[in-house]
Chains A and B, each alone.
Chain A
C-alpha cells in the first residue's frame, strides 16, 4: 500500500495556522511584550523597557484592586442569581409538556439581544427621572435610585441576570432532560421524598452540567463591559468600575498600554486560577 502523503495534511492546515498565528498568537505575544514596557500611544517613539515594573506597580494600585473587587462581586452575585433562577425554572419546565416550545422561546429571548442594547434599554427603564420602573415604583411609595452609589453594581447584576438566566436555563434544562430516568424511579421506589431525590440524586447527577454552566457563565461575567459602558461608565465614583472597563480606560482613554496589558495578563491568571479551583472542587466530590 502506498504511504499516505503526510505533507498534504500539513499543507491543508497551513492557511488556518497562519490565520490563527496572525489573530491569536501575534496579539498575545505582542501584548506580553507591551506589558513589559512603558508603552504609551502618545509616546510611541519613546518606548522604555520596564521589566516587571508594570506588574509590581499593580500591587500598590488601589484602582486596580477596586476594579477586581467590583468584578468579583459582580461575577459571584450575578452568576449565583442566574444559577438559582435558571435551575428553578429548569426544574419547573422540565415537567411541563404543554406549550413547551412557546414558553421556552419566550424565556430564551433575552439571550438573543446584543448586550449593549440591553444596557441602553435598562439605562432608560431604570433611570430615576425618565424610567418607567422608578415611575411606577414611586406611585406605590417606593423610591429607588437604581444607579445610585449603593445600588448601581447590584442593578448591573440584575441586568446581567435578566439577560443571561436563559442561558443557564437552557444548559440546565438540557442537562435534566439527558439524565437517565431509571435512578429517579428507583429512588421513588426506595422510599425517597422529592426533596431527598433532589438533594441526593438530581444535584449530584447534574454536577458536571452545573460545573460547565457555572464556568461558562463565570468567565463570561468576568468580561462584563457593555452594561458598564452603556450605563454607568464605572460610576458613581468607581463603584461599578469592573476590571475590563478599567483596563479599557487605562489603555484606550489614558493610552497607557503597557500598564493595561499587564492588568490584562493578571486578569488571565486570576481567571485561570478560579476556573481551575472551581473545576477541581466540583470534580473531587
Chain B
C-alpha cells in the first residue's frame, strides 16, 4: 500500500476558493480521518484524490506516481460514498463484480474474490438481491464490499456511516476498524462527526474554510488543540470558553469568577478553554491540584447513564461539566455545587488570533509556535 502525497492543493469553483494550499502526506497503511464542519472542503479534497474533480493547482502523488491529471479509473482507488451509490439495477453480486469485470479480470477469479469478500462481510446470502431489497446497513456493507473486492492501493470513504442509525453506526465503526487491521490499506476517511474521527483515525486532519488547521494523532488533537477552532470542534460536549485577561502572570475571567496564576504567558486578552471533563468534584483531586475552587449553581442535569452533563452557572457564566453519576446523589437542578479545576489542564488561546498560548512538552516536540 503506497503513501499518498498532496502538494499545495488548491481548488476553486469559479471565484470561490474551496481548498487552499493543502500539503499532506498520508503514510502507508495509515487510516487518516479528514474532519471539519460542513462546507470546510473535506469532501472536495476526497473527490480530488479520487479524481472525480480536477485540482485548480497542486499535485497528487500515489506512491511516486503523479496522478493529478489521471482519470479515476487510472488511479487504482476505491471509494465508498455517503449514499452508498450502488447500481440500482444490478444484484449485489453484479455490483461487487462490476469493477473487476471492467478491469478485465477473468470470470473465475471474479467469482472467487466476490464470494471471499462477501463471506468476510457476512453478506453472502444477499448476493442475488437488488439494492432496494436491502436495509441501510446491508447496503453499506455491499458498498464496502464493492470497494474491498478490487484490492485497490487506496480506500476513500466519504461519510459512509452518516445515513445509519446510531446503534448501527457504532457497530459499523468497529467493523471498519477490524477490516482496516486485516487489510492494512491506506485509507482516507471523511466525516463531520468528531467522535467518529477520534475513535477511528490513526491520524486526524482538521480542516476549516479549506485550510488545514491541525494534523496529528487523536490524542494530540484532543489534548493539544492548536487553536480555538480545533478546541471547539473536537470533543463532546465542546470545550468551555471563558473570555478574560492575563496581566502579571495572573488570569482573571471578565466576570471575575475565575482567577488563576499563569506561567510564562504574555499579558493581554485571552480565552481560557476548559474541557467539561476537567471540571471536578473536590474529592477527585488532591489538595495540591485544587488550583481553583468555584461555587456554582446547577442549572440543568442531563443524565447519559454512567455519566451526566451538568450545566453550571457561575456569576452569570455558563459552564458545562461531565461528572460521574455517583456524584449526582443529593444534588438537583437549582442546588449549589462546589467544583475544582486543575490549572495544568487549562488551555489558553489568544483572543484575537485564536492561537494556543500555553506551550507544553507536546508543543515543543511538534515545533508549534506559542
Contacts and interface: CB of A to CB of B under 8 A. Distances in A.
A187 interface: yes
Interface residues of B, number: 24
B89 to A, nearest CB: 4
Interface stretch (A48-56, A112-120, A197-205): A197-205
Nearest to B78: A189
Contacts of A200: 87, 98
A190 B145 CA distance: 12
Contacts of B146: 186, 190
Centre residue among A183, A190, A201 by max chain B CB count within 10 A:
A190
B339 to A, nearest CB: 49
B73 A191 contact: yes
A207 B89 CA distance: 10
A192 B102 contact: yes
Contact of A186 (B51, B85, B89): B85
Contact of A189 (B79, B84, B89): B79
A185 interface: yes
Contacts of B150: 190-191
A188 B52 contact: yes
Interface string B46-72: 000011100000000000000000011
B88 A192 contact: no
Given A189-B79, A191-B99, A183 B85 contact: yes
Contacts of B84: 182
Contact of A190 (B51, B88, B98): B98
Interface string A176-196: 000010110111111111001
A189 B98 CA distance: 11
Centre residue among A193, A200, A204 by max chain B CB count within 10 A:
A200
Main secondary structure on B side of the interface with A: loop
Interface string A149-188: 0000000000000000000000000000000101101111
Main secondary structure on A side of the interface with B: helix
Give the size range of A's interface with the partner.
Answer: 10 to 19
Centre residue among B71, B73, B84 by max chain A CB count within 10 A:
B73
A188 B81 CA distance: 13
A251 B157 CA distance: 69
Nearest to B83: A182
A105 B302 CA distance: 60
Contact of A183 (B78, B88, B99): B88
Given A204-B89, A205-B89, A187 B77 contact: no
Contacts of B87: 183, 186-187, 200-201
B86 interface: yes
Contacts of A180: 83, 85
Contact of B86 (A183, A191, A204): A183
Interface string B84-108: 1111111000000011001100000
Contacts of A187: 87, 98, 102
A189 B88 contact: no
Interface string A107-148: 000000000000000000000000000000000000000000
Interface in A201-236: 201, 204-205, 207
A196 to B, nearest CB: 6
B77 A189 contact: yes
A123 B87 CA distance: 48
A268 to B, nearest CB: 33
B102 A193 contact: yes
A188 B89 contact: no
28 contacts: A180-B83, A182-B81, A182-B83, A185-B52, A185-B72, A185-B85, A186-B86, A186-B87, A187-B87, A187-B98, A188-B72, A189-B50, A189-B72, A190-B78, A190-B99, A190-B102, A190-B146, A191-B72, A191-B73, A191-B99, A191-B102, A191-B150, A192-B99, A193-B73, A196-B102, A200-B87, A204-B89, A207-B89
The 3 A-B pairs at the shortest CB distance, nearest first, are namely A182-B85, A190-B99, A186-B85
Given A189-B50, A189-B72, A189-B78, 15 more contacts: A183-B86, A183-B87, A183-B88, A185-B52, A185-B72, A186-B85, A186-B87, A187-B102, A189-B52, A189-B73, A189-B77, A190-B98, A190-B146, A191-B103, A205-B89
Interface of B: 50-52, 71-73, 77-79, 81, 83-90, 98-99, 102-103, 146, 150
Interface of A: 180, 182-183, 185-193, 196, 200-201, 204-205, 207
